[in-house]
Structure 1
Amino acid sequence: MASPLALTAEALLRRVEWTVLRPLDGQLQGDYRTLFAGAGMDFRELREYVPGDDLRRIDWNVTARMDTPYVREYAEDRELTAWFVLDRSGSMAFGPQGRGKEQVLVEFTATLARLLTRGGNRVAAILYDGARPETVAARSGRLHVLRLIHRLQQPHDSAHSPTDLAGLLKASAGVIRQRSLVVVVSDFISAPGWEAPLRLLTQRHDVVPVQIVDPLESSLPDVGEIVLEDAETGERVLIDTGDRAFRERLRALAEQEQDQIRDRVRSCGLDLTTVSTADDLVEVFVRLAARRKLRR
């Protein structure tokens, strides 16, 4: 099978429409479209809090006066603007040939962008490859999705570029002014400190954090001695994968780091959607739809 990055934008989008969106139409019967409905800023009414309401909509002034929690409700917009905040730094180059983490990022973005534009919504993107973030303006339609895919397929120099996720999120908060759906796609391999800007984004926007991972990042096979290179620093190290104790330490460390990432995202009031390079995107979107439906 050809690598998604080796396909034309049209070929990749057609494949996504046939292998992902078509099965989703059958499995979810169109219900997933309402899960990304716009949340407008026009105030409608105040009502008492009920379990399951979004805590970010609590009106603390009214709650203090009435001595019981009240939430603010808003009239929903028919149309939605979605922003994809896309991490294309060095660590995203990891993964098997033909479907590494960056390839999965392209497929995931293409799928969700087309899903949204089919409903008349607009999509935009902020691309980050370790240098200055690049903005793709918000537009609707299939042609715009093709242009976004084509832009993502262009070569970029992310070698030895450490991920500054905090800086990317801060820059996004400055660019995205109107309330939007913000989909952050990254492997979250970054220096600590990105929780605060992520929390800031959630105060104004509907944020969906998506983590792209590869199984080999947490579980190495026994293939003897190999040289590994850090994609973000260029540092090389010789390791013996035949050392069972080393493999166990690596697995434990990877699990610990993953738990920390999940806890940091949860501290922002969000659920982390994890997508593996081995995952079927149909199953990924079914899980995502179920999770968003449960939160609503």
Structure 2
Amino acid sequence: MIPKEIIQKIRRVQITTSRKVTDVFAGQYQSVFKGLGIEFEEVREYIPGDDIRSIDWNVTARIGHPYIKKFVEERELTIMILLDVSMSSMFGTRARMKSNLAAEFCSVMAFSAIKNNDKVGMITFSDRIENFIPPRKGTKHVLRVIRETLYNKPIGKGTDINCVLEYFSRVTKRSAITFLVSDFISPDFSKLLNVTNKRHDIIAVTVTDPMELELASSGIISMRDAETGDRAIIDTASSGIRAHYRATIQKKIIERDKMFKSAGVDRIDIITNKSYVEPLKLFFKTRARRIARG
């Protein structure tokens, strides 16, 4: 039985995100994602004027005169959301927790999908697969996706992105637009990310809290790793310690972003003390510009 406050929260997220889809992202989703996919329809005889790049050389050699492969635009897309629900997602020092920000972002993408008659599915994961919702259409289905983002009880504590990418490749046979939503605090997953992005269109959505980027000067504090349980006493009043922390985090971010770039994965950065609207609009704008360039 879902608690009453969670049901109310689902309703609030539904109202807020559906408005943003209509008012802010109307048309942008469709212009960026629609028409990206094509599927094979048939082989037919070559007609003068056809693009010679479409010639099926195997059939041509077998029959003795030119044949081409005919493709049609794939109008229905599959949107998959891979959502990190590990213990580190339950962190937040400002307006909200990372998990709440991720839930709103996922809801916007889910509503955008059904508004354009696409299917949407979700896999929640930690250091294991927590839940799989197969891609479907309809408002009722999207509400199930939203419920899963807001009301999940993960068994695992850590984060294993290799695990979700491997599972995703097994259960999703059709190419999908895939939003991988995480803080990416995970063992190395670069090799599998590279392989998976060759078949699917993966967009990495990084979810961060300001305190994860820079320590505030708050004196001596006790810090605990949410995923491992390890504790440490840190003197945050020390400028040297804060500088070392900042440099370490920046190095990790640079390495992570290089990995995304090497794999050809687009990135959307969202942070708990700011709206996700501007980063998402920037993503749509950048993609649209790239598509226009061909």
TM, length-normalised to structure 2: 0.83
CA radius of gyration, larger in: 2
1:66 corresponds in structure 2 to: none
Deviation at 1:294, TM superposition (A): 2.8
Give the letter aligned to residue 34 of structure 1: S
**Which of residues 154, 159, 184 is equivalent to 1:188?**
184
Give the letter aligned to residue 242 of structure 2: R
Partner SS state of residue 117, structure 2: coil
Partner SS state of residue 284, structure 1: helix
Give the letter aligned to residue 185 of structure 1: V
Deviation at 1:234, TM superposition (A): 0.3
Equivalent residue runs for 1:64-213 within 5 Å: 75-96=72-93, 99-157=96-154, 161-192=157-188, 194-213=189-208
Does the CA contact (< 8 Å) of 1:100 and 1:277 recur in 2?
Answer: yes
2:13 corresponds in structure 1 to: 12
Regions of 4+ moved over 6 Å: 43-48
Alpha-carbon distance in structure 1 between the residues aligned to 2:70 and 2:87? 42
1:293 corresponds in structure 2 to: 288
1:35 corresponds in structure 2 to: 32
Alpha-carbon distance in structure 2 between the residues aligned to 1:47 and 1:167? 42
Does the CA contact (< 8 Å) of 2:126 and 2:158 recur in 1?
Answer: no
CA gap 1:135/1:118 in 2 versus in 1, 3 angstroms: same
Please report the RMSD computed on the Cα atoms of aligned residues, expressed in angstroms.
2.6
Per-residue CA deviation, residues 101-123 of structure 1 (Å, 9 max, x unaligned), is 11111000000110111011110
Does the CA contact (< 8 Å) of 2:107 and 2:146 recur in 1?
Answer: yes
Alpha-carbon distance in structure 2 between the residues aligned to 1:212 and 1:224? 27
Per-residue CA deviation, residues 58-112 of structure 1 (Å, 9 max, x unaligned), is xxxxxxxxxxxxxx99632111111111111122112136611111110000001
1:217 paired to 2:212? yes
| Percent identity for Structure 1 against Structure 2 | 26
Alpha-carbon distance in structure 2 between the residues aligned to 1:276 and 1:40? 35
Deviation at 1:240, TM superposition (A): 0.9
1:23 corresponds in structure 2 to: 23
Runs of 5+ unmatched residues, structure 1: 49-71
Equivalent residue runs for 1:232-251 within 5 Å: 232-251=227-246
2:47 corresponds in structure 1 to: none
Deviation at 1:131, TM superposition (A): 3.0
Partner SS state of residue 107, structure 2: helix
Runs of 5+ unmatched residues, structure 2: 43-49, 54-68
1:228 corresponds in structure 2 to: 223
Does the CA contact (< 8 Å) of 1:40 and 1:75 recur in 2?
Answer: yes
Alpha-carbon distance in structure 1 between the residues aligned to 2:28 and 2:104? 21
Alpha-carbon distance in structure 2 between the residues aligned to 1:79 and 1:157? 32
Per-residue CA deviation, residues 193-237 of structure 1 (Å, 9 max, x unaligned), is x11111111111121111111111011111111111101100111
